[in-house]
Structure 1
Amino acid sequence: MVTIAVIAPGAMGSAVAALLHGNGARILTVLAGRSAATIARARDAGMEGVDEADLAGADFVLSIVPPAEATALATRLAPILAAAARKPVYVDCNALNVATKRGVAGVIAQTGAPFIDAAIIGAPPRPGGKGPRIYVSGDDLASSVALRELGLDIRPVEGGVGAAAALKMSYAGINKGLTALAAAMVLAAGRAGAAEALHAELAESEPELLARFARVLPDMVPKAYRWVAEMDEIAGFLEGDDGGRLMFDGAGRLYARLAAEGDGDEIARLRAFAAAAERP
């Protein structure tokens, strides 16, 4: 039986764990200090709570944490991995820019453990449905075959460590950047009294965009707090492009503001615009 440590049991991590467990893998995680709801979600996904020191006994360690926590996790686990006689494959699945991902790879390289750069694109897997695409890159991807055999949609990317990260940054920049752009302009139109006119023009000239905004704007609201750090990573990915970097610095500030607002006026305006877009 393949043993896989999944850190942490968030929405994506627990869903990936459930898929792997359902296909025969033993799943380890760390539950110390987690909320009752998180512990229940982990157990429902078939995850076993263990001490961090026990993670080194896994065949794989999948790091699926908020971007700001990825380096700290690798640094914290490094002594445990270094001491392990048999090294697990460390798979960093986080939304990190190329420089950050290579920094994590450098931390893990000092432990002697193999490293795979992974990028998750798509929603968490659901029972009976297709899971997200998991793009992988690195010096040796042979071990990732075992993850494919356990049900993950593993897709190799040429280019070594950083290639999967670059794909994630580029895709997320287009996808979530467009959502930020839509939110900013819908709110600006509303402040100027032109929201209805904007809706009418989009319905006539860009119906596909309007349909997309109807879906992604309300979906973004509960996730905005998680997207702030991702926008920071994308801005870092665009470090050599001042204009591009500033766009994503701004997107991060927008998402931070919306996250802090909760159910305030701006959120209500975005939801109202999306609801109007759904009506024929």
Structure 2
Amino acid sequence: MATIAVIAPGAMGSAIAARLHGNGARILTVLAGRSAATIARAQESGMEGVEETALAEADLILSIVPPAEAANLAIRLSPLLAAAVRKPVYVDCNALNVLTKRGVAAVIGQAGAPFIDAAIIGAPPKSGERGPRFYVSGDNLSASVALREMGLDVRPVEGGVGAASALKMSYAGINKGLTALAAVMVLAAGRAGAAHALYAELAESEPELLARFSRVLPDMVPKAYRWVAEMDEIASFLESDDGGRLMFDGAGRVYERLSAECDGDEVGQLKAFAAAAERP
């Protein structure tokens, strides 16, 4: 039976843990300082709370944390990995730009542990569904076979460490960048009194886009706080492209504003626009 550490037991981490546990893996995590709701979710997913030092006993460590926490987690765990006789494979699954991911790989490499660059695209796994896609890249991907055998949709990407992250940055830039663009323009139309006209024009000329916006705008609101750091990572990914970098720096500020507003007027306008689009 494989032993896999999943850090941390958030929505994605716990769902992936449940899939792995359901296919026979022992799942370790750290629950110290976590809320009662998080602990309950972890236990329901088959996760076993252990001291951080015990993570080195795992065959693989999956890092699934907010982007801003990924590098610090690697630094914190590196002494444990360095001291381990049998090194776990460290799989960084976070939405990081290529340079940041390679920096994490360097920290783990100095500890003597194998490293896999991973990128998760799609929603947390659900029973009866194959997804999400679990893209992996690196010099040695043999350990990722175990993840495929335990129910993850693992897909290798050629190009070494950074290739999977580049795919994630590019896909998220298109997907979540388009959502940010839609939010900005819907709100701008509303401020100018043209929201109904914009809705009517999209319904006539771009019905597929309107259907998409009706789904993604309300879905984005509770996630906006998590997308701020991801937009900042994409901006760093585009560092050599001034226009692109500024575009995604702006998207980050849009999500930052919407997450701070929560149930304010702008969020209400976006939800109202989406609701109108859902009506026949």
**Residue 50 of structure 1: how far off its partner (Å):** 0.3
Equivalent in the alignment of 1:69 = 69
1:3 aligns with 2:3: yes
Equivalent in the alignment of 1:278 = 278
Instruction: Extract unaligned runs of 5+ from structure 2.
Output: none
SS class of match (1:253): helix
Q: Count residues in correspondence.
A: 280
Instruction: Extract unaligned runs of 5+ from structure 1.
Output: none
Equivalent in the alignment of 1:12 = 12
Within 1, Cα distance between the matches of 2:129 and 2:136? Answer: 21
SS class of match (1:211): helix
Equivalent in the alignment of 1:105 = 105
Equivalent in the alignment of 2:232 = 232
CA displacement, residues 23-70 of structure 1 (integer Å, 9 cap, x when unaligned): 000000000000000000000000000001000000000000000000
SS class of match (2:240): coil
**Residue 130 of structure 1: how far off its partner (Å):** 2.1
- Which residue type is aligned with residue 271 of structure 2? R
- Alignment check: 8 A CA contact 2:135 2:156 kept: yes
Within 1, Cα distance between the matches of 2:218 and 2:4? Answer: 34
Within 2, Cα distance between the matches of 1:224 and 1:262? Answer: 9
Equivalent in the alignment of 1:88 = 88
TM-score for the superposition, normalised by structure 1 = 1.00
**Residue 131 of structure 1: how far off its partner (Å):** 2.2
Within 2, Cα distance between the matches of 1:69 and 1:134? Answer: 20
Equivalent in the alignment of 1:124 = 124
**Residue 128 of structure 1: how far off its partner (Å):** 1.8
Within 2, Cα distance between the matches of 1:166 and 1:128? Answer: 29
Matches within 5 A, 1:235-254: 235-254=235-254
The RMSD of aligned alpha carbons is 0.4
Equivalent in the alignment of 2:57 = 57
Within 2, Cα distance between the matches of 1:117 and 1:6? Answer: 15
Within 2, Cα distance between the matches of 1:100 and 1:182? Answer: 29
**Residue 127 of structure 1: how far off its partner (Å):** 1.5
Within 2, Cα distance between the matches of 1:39 and 1:50? Answer: 12
- Alignment check: 8 A CA contact 2:130 2:152 kept: no
**Residue 279 of structure 1: how far off its partner (Å):** 1.1
- Which residue type is aligned with residue 161 of structure 1? V
SS class of match (1:165): helix
**Residue 270 of structure 1: how far off its partner (Å):** 0.1
